[in-house]
């Protein structure tokens, strides 16, 4: 993610506002200009459509796959923190699975020595 996007005010919206924006982005029912107007009308936040486009690309890349899993766009927006924690836990689990598989393969490999046997 670019430094300008990290510091963009869309990343620092109030939780409910950001959740609603992300849900609208993932629902893909409005134009970026429409989202810009919606933010201004509903929350008084003035953001260009190009800034929303940049934010939306990041959101779609990061969370778009969840829609394919059957999670509604509104739920994704509401539970971003929990979903990010879940993602981190799943990555940790995958790393542990790979480590345990490698260790098991080393144990079962004929002629292999482990640190315990040294």
For 104, the domain range is 80-118
Same domain for 71 and 93? no
Mean pLDDT of the chain: 83
Does the pLDDT at position 106 exceed 80? yes
CA distance 117 to 95: 25
Same domain for 89 and 37? no
CA distance 82 to 40: 28
Same domain for 2 and 38? yes
Confidence of residue 4 (pLDDT cuts 50, 70, 90): very low
CA distances from 75 to 65, 101, 107, 110 (A): 13, 35, 44, 50
Query: pTM for the complete prediction?
Result: 0.63
41-84, pLDDT tens digit by residue?
999 999 999 999 999 998 888 887 887 888 888 888 788 778 87
């Amino acid at each position: 993610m670019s430094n300008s996007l990290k510091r963009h005010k869309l990343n620092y919206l109030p939780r409910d506002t950001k959740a609603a924006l992300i849900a609208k982005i993932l629902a893909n029912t409005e134009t970026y200009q429409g989202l810009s107007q919606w933010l201004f009308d509903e929350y008084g936040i003035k953001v260009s459509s190009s800034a929303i486009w940049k934010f939306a690309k990041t959101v779609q890349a990061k969370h778009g796959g969840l829609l394919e899993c059957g999670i509604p766009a509104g739920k994704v927006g509401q539970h971003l923190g929990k979903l990010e924690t879940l993602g981190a836990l799943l990555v940790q689990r995958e790393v542990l699975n790979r480590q345990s598989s490698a260790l098991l393969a080393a144990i079962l490999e004929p002629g292999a020595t482990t640190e315990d046997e040294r």
